[in-house]
Amino acid sequence: MKSEIIEYLNRYVETNAEEEEIFESSFNEVIIKKGQHIILPDFVAKYRSYVLKGAFRAYVLDKKGNEHTISFAIEDWWISDVNSYIYQQPATMFVAALENSIVLQLEYTKEQELKKSNHKFETFFRIIAERSAAFHQRRIISNLMFSAEERYDHFIEKYPAIVKRVPQYALASYLDMTTQFLSRIRKGKTHK
């Protein structure tokens, strides 16, 4: 039985045993405890992380000290500060574990080697980058088009698994509203 990361790879490109060995051995399995940060502002994000188990949140702090959640990641998702990772510049985000978690870390230089060494790996990272761009664009559209309540409705429909696992303040800040307002929206739903 193949590991999760190879199954993930094989969704986008076909590989042989040797390639799978190369790919898999480029990752480090790391245990991250709940509350622990894996990326901090001003440090360069050296890795991107594939979540094997657990849940993560990437967020920024504004000048008033309010948190804004940029992304969530549960099993089978990636998490990093994309801008920091791809340009190898200091991060602006925090990334912290919401649960005790296990990730597969891929170091930036290893990723470059993978892409350089084999067209298939290049294709793989191209596809996930495209999908990431498309995903972010859908979020921009939804943020521009919808009211707070519509954004909430849309999110619970699309990502019910995440709603169950993240604290409400994190979801509220992802949806660009206060925890109080999200609480009121939820109250409205259950009463009708």
List residues binding DNA (CB under 7 A).
64, 66, 147-149, 167-169, 176-184, 186-187
Question: With respect to DNA, which residue has the nearer C-beta, 41 or 188?
Answer: 188
Give the separation between CA 102 and CA 97, rounded to whole angstroms. Answer: 10
132 binds its own copies (CB under 8 A): yes
Give the separation between CA 43 and CA 149, rounded to whole angstroms. Answer: 36
Give the separation between CA 160 and CA 164, rounded to whole angstroms. Answer: 6
125 binds its own copies (CB under 8 A): yes
Q: Given candidates 2, 33, 68, 184, which one binds its own copies under the rule CB under 8 A?
A: 68
158 binds its own copies (CB under 8 A): no
Sorted by sequence, the CB contacts under 8 Å of residue 26 that are 6+ apart come out as 106, 107, 110, 111, 113, 114
* Residue 140's binding partner out of its own copies, DNA, none, with CB under 5 to 8 Å set by partner kind: its own copies
According to DSSP, the residues that pair with 49 across neighbouring strands are 79, 105
133 binds its own copies (CB under 8 A): yes
**What ranges make up the beta strands (E) of the chain?**
27-32, 37-39, 47-53, 56-61, 67-73, 78-79, 94-97, 101-107
Minimum distance of DNA from residue 154's CB (angstroms): 13
Residues near its own copies, by CB under 8 A: 60, 62, 68, 70, 82-83, 86-87, 92, 115, 119, 122-123, 125-126, 129-134, 136-141, 143-146, 173, 176
